[in-house]
Amino acid sequence: MTSKSFQDMIRSLPPRTVIAAQGDAAVTAPIVESSSDVQPGGLFVARRGRRTDGHGFIPQAIERGAAAIVGEYPLAGLPIPYAQVTDAGAILGDLAAAYFDFPSRRLTVIGVTGTDGKTTTSTLIHSILKAASGGKAGLISTITADLGGMTADTGLHVTTPGAPRIQSYLAQMADNGLDYAVIEATSHGLHQGRLNGIDLDVAVLTNLTHEHLDYHGTFENYRAAKAILFEMLDRSARKMDRSGAPIPKISVVNADDPNAGFFTALRADRLVRYGLTTPADFHADRLDFTPAGIELYVDGHTLRSPLVGRYNAQNILAAVAAARSLGVPWADDQGRAPIQAGLNQVTLISGRMERIDQGQPFLAIVDFAHTPNALKNALETCREMLPEGGQLIAVFGSAGLRDREKRRLMAEVSARLAHFTILTAEDPRTEPLELILDEMAAGCLAAGGVRGVTFTTVPDRGEAIFRACGMAHPGDIVIACGKGHEQSMAFGVAEYPWDDREAMRAALNGSPLRTLPTAVNGHLL
């Protein structure tokens, strides 16, 4: 059982974050921010949220056996130790790191951020590092957490888990003897401090395009949130590798991205640039798309991947740049090629250009693309795969209570690239679905689309995918975008079971998947 002194944990927090601290106790259970999760001997962190104030739940936390409390208000008279801090949410990760003995200091940690390609790039880096280290690499991504000998579910709609869970994952990786940890980092997760307490070694940027402006307000704020990952390099503890040599702090930046200059200006021991079109440290001198995937010539080496699409070539370059910057060789003393071996292992990433085959005479694909740029990449890749005379049918929606501008942008992209577009539900939450679809339809019309000829709206997503498959002829491509691997869809404040892959299979087998509240008549029940 882990046991930490409350005062020792408080003393480990960053400078100028603690206002006052009284009393001491042994913390013998994890740090939590929900009173219902408190275990006897645990530490409850009360913070002011957007909807609720955790300080109101301190009595329940004490009732459940909390050993100590951390909050933001000056409180007196509590029967257990209490520390007042400037920002309880910001130090949640630091407290969890202290509880787990700072696990990231026992690992080389690689963080991957960007608008698109985070999961694929993280998975590729993880695979290459596993091949190079004999399996001693872990991963925390949208899809899963590989902790070394075991995996964990990372959630439904949250790419970056909460700070205490991340620290728990890292502790399990370190305890399982892993050397590396690859973490997919979202702008929300970075802005909310979910990666605080992690001592980072490598920061990777995939790209930066229009997304999450509902949350961040402006593109500049969104970019600044992504930059937090790179700023972490400068404030992270220095580590030594197994030979005793210091591990440098490295930033890996997409030189093709218009925002590359902003990120290359951020402080790091070493800057590594990669790109398909811009001169860079890692550049594809030749790039070919074959029936078997991608072939690219980098630094005198021919690399092959079963993944498809130009955007995946960029993700591969990012992974190669990160791996080479960490000293992974093209070939080792035993003649093994860990980079190519790692690429070979990534044949499919769940919900990313995932083909669904039920014996139909056309290609059916599910992809996670939920931004204008990602949708553009997915549809362009499909166009490259279409035989002469083939038609591309796209099905997608746009989330409620999220960035409204991308509704129009995504519809415009599809109106230009798909032969037929079906607009449908995608996590409408508490917004009227009909209003979201009207905004997207306006985008199709603005780009020259004709209702009923090149696009339509079908509120129920199961019915939309079913109709798309019903329209398809031999040689066509049907692609459902936006949900990918996700296992639920939000209507109102409830999550309903949903999986685009299962919906596609059901449609190919002759019936729509009917798990959503729109399934009866296309309108919310």
Strand residue runs (E) in 270-403: 270-275, 282-290, 293-298, 301-305, 354-355, 363-367, 392-396
Percent of the residues in the chain that have a pLDDT greater than 70, as a whole number: 96
pLDDT at 157 over 60: no
Q: Is the dihedral of CA 375, 324, 173, 268 positive or negative?
A: negative
pLDDT at 50 over 80: no
Q: Report d(CA 176, CA 189) in Å as an integer.
A: 25
pLDDT at 276 over 70: yes
DSSP assigned state of 227: H
- Please identify, in words, the CATH class of the domain defined by 4-99: alpha beta
In the chain, domain spans: 4-99, 103-345, 354-508
pTM for this predicted structure: 0.85
Residue 521 pLDDT class (50, 70, 90 cuts): low
What pLDDT digit, counting tens, does each position of 70-81 carry?
999 999 999 999
Contact 8, 2 (CB under 8 A): no
Please determine whether the domains at 4-99 and 354-508 fall in the same fold group of CATH. no
Mean pLDDT for 32-60 is: 93
280: nearest Cα among 299, 305, 259: 299
What pLDDT digit, counting tens, does each position of 399-451 carry?
999 889 999 999 999 999 999 999 999 999 999 999 999 999 999 999 999 99
Select, from the ranges 11-20, 48-57, 288-297, the one with the highest average predicted confidence (pLDDT). Answer: 11-20
Per-residue tokens: 272:
């590594």
Which range (115-129, 138-152, 416-430) has the least confidence? 138-152
Q: Which residue has the tokens 């206002």?
A: 19
The CATH superfamily label for domain 103-345 reads Mur-like, catalytic domain (3.40.1190.10)
> Residue 480 burial by CB count (10 A; 0-12/13-18/19+): exposed, middle or buried?
buried
Mean pLDDT for 241-246 is: 82
DSSP assigned state of 453: T
pLDDT of residue 210: 65
Q: Count CA atoms closer than 13 A to 484's CA, side-chain side.
A: 23
pLDDT averaged over the chain? Answer: 93
Contact 114, 205 (CB under 8 A): yes
| HEC string for 102-147 | CHHHHCEEEEEECCCCHHHHHHHHHHHHHHHHCCCEEEECCCCEEC
What pLDDT digit, counting tens, does each position of 221-232 carry?
999 999 999 999
Cα of first residue to Cα of last residue in the chain, in angstroms, is 49
Residue 213 pLDDT class (50, 70, 90 cuts): low
Three-state SS at 444: helix
Q: Which residue has the tokens 């553009």?
A: 376
pLDDT of residue 525: 41
- Please identify, in words, the CATH class of the domain defined by 354-508: alpha beta
What pLDDT digit, counting tens, does each position of 315-370 carry?
999 999 999 999 999 998 888 899 999 999 999 888 889 999 999 999 999 999 99
R_g of the chain computed on alpha carbons = 24
pLDDT at 121 over 90: yes
pLDDT at 383 over 50: yes
What pLDDT digit, counting tens, does each position of 22-37 carry?
999 999 999 999 999 9
Q: Report d(CA 142, CA 154) in Å as an integer.
A: 6
pLDDT of residue 70: 98
Three-state SS at 251: strand
Task: Provide the b/e sequence for 385-414 (b: ≥16 CB within 10 Å).
Answer: beeeebbbbbbbbbbbebbbebbbbbbbbb
Per-residue tokens: 369:
């693309």
Residue 212 pLDDT class (50, 70, 90 cuts): low
> Residue 56 burial by CB count (10 A; 0-12/13-18/19+): exposed, middle or buried?
exposed
Mean pLDDT for 134-154 is: 89
Residue 291 pLDDT class (50, 70, 90 cuts): low
